[in-house]
Chain A
């Protein structure tokens, strides 16, 4: 069990640029979640997948955000035309089919938009 991995761990970009983050869940976990955590706050739900299907998107996920999970394995989160308000830690979590309530978190990707 190698745990949930996220890449890159840190990303610095200029306002207006596009960025893409990757999450590799624990093998055979069918659900995958994305959360965003800003400084001094708890994580906030963004979206989740069951296998390759994206089942729910939060209102926090504006049109500039898109997430995919091709083939139900890894997932990517893309932010287009980044804004300074997008600066945050982006966390990915996965859960197994038989214990769907238990989410295992990755180390996160910290994004800084200058």
Chain B
């Protein structure tokens, strides 16, 4: 079984400032790692994923994340946020067999002008 902890429930940030969302996971097997974004009253959209290889993963909308195996972390970053980045962000893990996702509780990012 896997579990995910998102260390910040809410992150307020000013427009054009950098943002980092922290995610730690635990698992007894090798996993895939994901970040999803959810805008109000919508489903989830995949931002990026780590499957293998380079530990720095680039995704859509200027987001990137770094996989750190020793710290079992997968933190998400963006160097300069926009008002449109205001949303809920979910970190998730899956095993490599049935791919069912285990999500963290989410981080609400609010971008202010």
B is bound to A: yes
A102: which of B41, B46, B90, B106 is its contact (CB, 8 Å)?
A: B46
| Interface residues in A9-64 (C-beta closer than 8 Å to B) | 31, 33, 35, 40-45, 48, 55-56
B57 at the interface (CB under 8 A from A): no
Which residue of B has the minimal Cβ distance to A33?
A: B100
Q: How large is the interface on B (under 10, 10 to 19, 20 to 34, 35 or more residues)?
A: 20 to 34
Q: Are B99 and A101 in contact (CB under 8 A)?
A: yes
- Residues in B whose Cβ lies below 8 Å from that of A43: 44, 90, 101, 103
Q: How large is the interface on A (under 10, 10 to 19, 20 to 34, 35 or more residues)?
A: 20 to 34
**B interface SS class:** strand
- Residues in A whose Cβ lies below 8 Å from that of B96: 101
Tell me the minimal C-beta distance from B51 to chain A in angstroms.
Answer: 7
Q: For the complex, what is the distance from the CA of A40 to the CA of B108, rounded to whole Å? A: 10
Say yes or no: A56-B103 contact (C-beta < 8 A), given A43-B90, A91-B43.
Answer: no
Q: A35-B101, A42-B106, A95-B99 are in contact. List 11 more A-B contacts (CB 8 A).
A: A31-B99, A33-B100, A43-B101, A45-B101, A56-B98, A103-B99, A103-B101, A105-B44, A106-B43, A107-B42, A108-B42
